[in-house]
């Protein structure tokens, strides 16, 4: 069970999530009444692979990664979902067990929608169904491109693809380049690329020697983004709706009563 840390979502900006903005007022109110808002730390397990699909999650701030395993080991990171995004929707629609585990990459705020409430919203709102269909279609396109890259691209090109996506999701301008503010270990990069640690080390060394990449402590710094983009781009990070749409990620704040709610005017670092 996800720890319920955040409460009081009825008076927040939850309804401004791109997947909810076209939901009819009555249907939106009913959906939110049946849902719960949570804030979790980096590394928190949100969904376990193989469990019955009892909820869909809307990511309101932060990000999460979906990992598929073969029964043991680190597994393969199939996608990183950056707010605003959704996960678990397909399994709820189909009534199948979760295809992969989902864990928070950083401090993340999510809306947990019980599967029956999610299916009721789909059945009762053509606008919501259309939004979810578009989002699932976008995820399918990303999945096909990722499969192609894993099958045919050299490891150093796969790393370049991943780094470009990570810069777009977590990049911070610094002197001499763009720092990826979330530190990814070699094990995590191996999970993203579908290779072992040794292959990751070789690919990193290749880009270090090329001059397009360097390290600043535990974080990677991209010095030449154009050089990395010269490889055929394959997306790793997905965001619901048009990525260029303005989205101010809401920040949980504590009320006088002690409950945590989402501040409408704040942004998440």
Q: Are residues 13 and 102 in the same domain?
A: yes
* 36-66 per-position pLDDT tens digit: 999 999 999 999 999 999 999 999 999 999 9
Q: Is residue 3 part of a domain?
A: no
pLDDT of residue 153: 86
Q: Are residues 88 and 214 in the same domain?
A: no
Q: Are residues 133 and 59 in the same domain?
A: yes
Q: Is residue 268 part of a domain?
A: no
User: Is residue 256 over pLDDT 60?
Assistant: no
User: Is residue 225 over pLDDT 70?
Assistant: yes
Q: Is residue 1 part of a domain?
A: no
Identify the band that residue 255 occupies on the pLDDT scale cut at 50, 70 and 90.
very low
> Any idea what the CATH number is for the domain that residue 180 is in?
1.10.10.10
Identify the band that residue 239 occupies on the pLDDT scale cut at 50, 70 and 90.
confident
Q: Are residues 113 and 242 in the same domain?
A: yes
**DSSP calls for 148-187:** HHHHHS-HHHHHHHHHHHHHHHHEEEETTEEEESS---HH
pLDDT of residue 150: 79
Q: Is residue 48 part of a domain?
A: yes
Q: Are residues 14 and 94 in the same domain?
A: yes
Give the structural domain span for 170.
Answer: 154-229
Average pLDDT on 161-182 reads 93
Order of strands, sheet of 55-61, starting from the edge strand that comes earlier in the sequence: 36-40, 108-114, 55-61, 85-87
- Give, as one character, the DSSP assignment of residue 16: G
Backbone angles phi, psi at 41, to 5 degrees: -85, 165
* 108-129 per-position pLDDT tens digit: 999 999 999 999 999 999 999 9
Average pLDDT on 180-204 reads 93
Q: Are residues 213 and 108 in the same domain?
A: no
Backbone angles phi, psi at 9, to 5 degrees: -75, -10
Q: Is residue 200 part of a domain?
A: yes
Number of structural domains found in the chain: 2
User: Is residue 248 over pLDDT 60?
Assistant: no
User: Is residue 192 over pLDDT 80?
Assistant: yes
Q: Are residues 59 and 135 in the same domain?
A: yes
Q: Which is more confident, 205 or 141?
A: 205
Residue-averaged pLDDT of the chain: 83
Identify the band that residue 4 occupies on the pLDDT scale cut at 50, 70 and 90.
very low
Q: Is residue 119 part of a domain?
A: yes
Average pLDDT on 236-244 reads 66
Identify the band that residue 238 occupies on the pLDDT scale cut at 50, 70 and 90.
confident
Average pLDDT on 242-251 reads 39
**pLDDT above 90 covers what percent of the chain?**
62
User: Is residue 1 over pLDDT 70?
Assistant: no
Q: Are residues 69 and 164 in the same domain?
A: no
User: Is residue 264 over pLDDT 70?
Assistant: no
Residues found in the chain: 269
Average pLDDT on 239-245 reads 57
Residue 70 CB contacts under 8 Å (≥ 6 apart), including other chains: none
Q: Are residues 159 and 224 in the same domain?
A: yes
Q: Is residue 2 part of a domain?
A: no
Other Cβ atoms less than 10 A from the Cβ of 183: the count is: 14
Q: Are residues 167 and 75 in the same domain?
A: no
Q: Are residues 52 and 117 in the same domain?
A: yes
pLDDT of residue 236: 75
Other Cβ atoms less than 10 A from the Cβ of 176: the count is: 11
**pLDDT above 70 covers what percent of the chain?**
81
Q: Is residue 4 part of a domain?
A: no
**What's the distance, CA 105 to chain centroid?**
8
Q: Are residues 246 and 206 in the same domain?
A: no
Tokens of 149: 């890259």
> Any idea what the CATH number is for the domain that residue 50 is in?
2.60.120.10
């Amino acid at each position: 069970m996800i720890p319920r840390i955040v409460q009081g979502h009825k008076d927040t900006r939850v309804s401004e999530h791109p997947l909810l903005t076209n939901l009819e007022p009555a249907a939106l109110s009913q959906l939110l009444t049946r849902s719960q808002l949570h804030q979790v730390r980096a590394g928190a397990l949100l969904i376990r692979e193989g469990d019955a699909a009892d909820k869909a999650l809307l990511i309101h701030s932060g990000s999460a990664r979906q990992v598929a395993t073969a029964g043991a080991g680190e597994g393969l990171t199939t996608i990183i979902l950056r707010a605003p995004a959704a996960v678990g929707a397909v399994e709820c629609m189909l009534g199948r067990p979760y295809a992969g585990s989902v864990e928070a990459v950083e401090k993340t705020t999510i809306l947990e929608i019980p599967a029956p409430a999610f299916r009721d919203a789909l059945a009762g709102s053509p606008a919501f169904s259309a939004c979810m269909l578009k989002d699932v279609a976008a995820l399918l396109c990303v999945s096909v491109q990722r499969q192609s890259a894993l099958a045919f691209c050299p490891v150093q090109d796969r790393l370049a693809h991943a780094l470009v996506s990570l810069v777009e999701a977590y990049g911070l301008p610094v002197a001499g380049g763009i720092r990826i503010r979330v530190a990814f270990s070699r094990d995590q990069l191996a999970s993203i690329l579908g290779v072992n640690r040794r292959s990751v080390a070789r690919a990193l060394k290749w880009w270090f020697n090329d001059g397009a990449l360097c390290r600043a402590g535990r974080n990677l710094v991209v010095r030449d983004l154009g050089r990395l983009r010269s490889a055929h781009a394959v997306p790793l990070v997905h965001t619901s709706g048009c990525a260029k749409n303005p989205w101010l990620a809401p920040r949980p704040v504590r009320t006088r009563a002690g409950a945590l709610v989402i501040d409408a005017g704040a942004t998440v670092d």
